[in-house]
Amino acid sequence: MAAFDTSPAQRTGLLAQAFSFFSRMNTARQEYVDYETTLRQLERLSDRELSDIGLGRADIRDVARATARQI
């Protein structure tokens, strides 16, 4: 019985490194955009609204950071 490798060919060399670099940069940029968007939205809420969803002002940055990393 023969086994075949059906996974995509491994990229090698300079092109692969460039692709990897730009892929990581794009992911980091998207995380930053998501972080900033979430941060702005939560900061606009009143203390009462934050309390209703179980957050305090001190939690905003942690929640925004965790949300951004869920890509």
Give the tens place of pLDDT for each residue, 3-61: 655 666 565 689 999 999 999 999 999 999 999 999 999 999 999 999 999 999 999 99
Q: How confident is residue 70, by pLDDT bands cut at 50, 70 and 90?
A: confident
pTM above threshold 0.75: no
| DSSP labels, 13-43 | HHHHHHHHHHHHHHHHHHHHHHHHHHHHHHH
Residues 33, 19, 13, CA angle at the centre, nearest 5°? 155
Domain ranges of the chain: 25-68
